[in-house]
Amino acid sequence: QPMSDYIPPAALPEHVLQRPDVQEALAQRDFGKLFYLTRKWAGISYSKIAASCGIKPERVGRLARGDGAVTTYDKILQICDGMRIPGHFLGLLPRPWEKQPDQVGDPAP
């Protein structure tokens, strides 16, 4: 199935993405805080976050407690895609799954 139709288990609901504390964590690329807030506000478990982002569940838990950081570009992209965080929240280009209806040449739906 096309990537655009797949919704990963840890996809952030819009109301969580719009929260100032979540946006602040994203702006700082503080993924541990993001994971913590995701569980708090969206009720998404660390094991679902781990599965969606290709991270071991124990590591997600450690990051959420403020132990360690995610710094590699590849892993940031995996989290971005696994949690369906639009690229601009992390200073990235739009991700392939983001809906971009205004692209030139796209046939109308």
Residue 22's pLDDT is 98
pTM for the full predicted model: 0.86
Q: What is the mean pLDDT of each run of 10 residues along the chain (109 residues)?
A: 72 96 97 98 97 96 97 95 96 88 54
48 vs 45: CA distance, rounded Å? 5
Which residue in 36, 25, 1, 41 sits closest to 85, CA to CA? 25
